[in-house]
Structure formats: C-alpha cells, structure tokens
Structure 1
C-alpha cells in the first residue's frame, strides 16, 4: 500500500460531540472527515507526546517546553472555568485549540501564506500555485 493511499479510521464519540464537530466543519466549509483530520493534526503539533514511553508520570525525567505549555493551558482553563471534570476539561482544551487554529489560519490567509482550496479539499500553501 502506498503512503498516500487512504484508509478508514473509526472512532466513537457522544452524539453531542459529533453534532458539534459537524456544525464547526460546516461553518468552515469542510467535510467532517477533513475537519477531524485537521483537528487531530493541529492537536498533534500543539501537544507533542514525548517519545520516551518509559516515563510513568509527569515528574519522570525532564519536562519539555511543550509539556510546560500544555500544563500552562490546563492551569489557565481551570483558572478561567473553575472546577471541571475530565470530559469538560478535554472539551475546554479542544475549544481553545480550535480557537487558536481558527485565528492562526485566518492570519496565514490574511498574509497570503495559505488559502483554502475547495478543489484540493483543504488548506494549501500559496507557493504551491
């Protein structure tokens, strides 16, 4: 199988989450699949998982700048929203990433660095034209 062959990935989320993702995808004029792919990639870039799988907790080894940034985001969300359970904390962090992504995509489009291409089904560098 070639690296660019497409394969299905299946996950299960609560109905309200799927509906929220669909509404956000519609607002961005994206398919739900493209929206989920974009959010996963954005999340992977923002919250890089350490490659040392032998860590057993946050105090194991030296924290990276990404770990510190992620911890700061968690603290900021809790400070802003108060007590949150796991699902609410995840949702708040995802909402923050989505807002950051939206703002950054807008800035890059304003600078003419990227553009949304319906033909290509996503964002492309303007240097590819």
Structure 2
C-alpha cells in the first residue's frame, strides 16, 4: 500500500445466503474475531492468490503472491509438534464440507448433476441429453 493511500474506513455491503453468514459468524467466533474482521481477513487472504507484485510477509523467497501454505505450516509448528496426518488435517481445513457445499450450489444452479451413467458428477453440457 502506498504511503499516500487513504486509510479512512468505509462500509462495504454484500449479500450472502443466511447459512453462509451463520458459517462465517461461527468461524469468526472460533477465531475470536468480529465478523467484519473475519470477512476482511478472508478477502485479503483470498486476494493473495491473484496478486503478482507483492511478496508474502515473512516468506524467505520472492514468490509473487506469497505461499499461504508455508505461512500456515510455520505458524502451526511454532506452537507445537505435528505428525504428517495432523498437519494435513490442520492445513486442509474442512474441505469435505466446502466441497459438499460447492456441489450443492452447482446442482442448484443446474450446472452439474450426479449421473450414475457417467460414474459420478458431470456438467450438464457433457451430459448429452
């Protein structure tokens, strides 16, 4: 951020499904954050994957966009010792629930469906019907 950047606060408004807001609030509570702080932090974390001219703070190399996994692993290991399985579980988060939610949303939007004929999930464009 440039030294001349405006640091005054302003509101940002978005609309999400009620279940998603509840999930965000629950996660924010778990992290002892306000919901605003949680959303702001998650947006900034998500933007790292799209930036190409910023280095992740604390990263030992000049990897544009940073390496969030590296930071997460180092943060975890700074406070405890983990086995491979424990580290994998800690960094993967709740990927099963996220995948399930995404599949439900895609099906609700009629973009995919479960097809026994195709042996699993398929896009409707690939269905041939």
Larger relative helix fraction: 1
* Larger RCO of the pair (alpha carbons < 8 Å, separation 6+): 1
Tell me the TM-score normalised to structure 1 length. Answer: 0.39
- When the two structures are superposed, what TM-score results if normalisation uses the length of structure 2? 0.39
Structure exhibiting the larger radius of gyration computed from Cα positions: 2
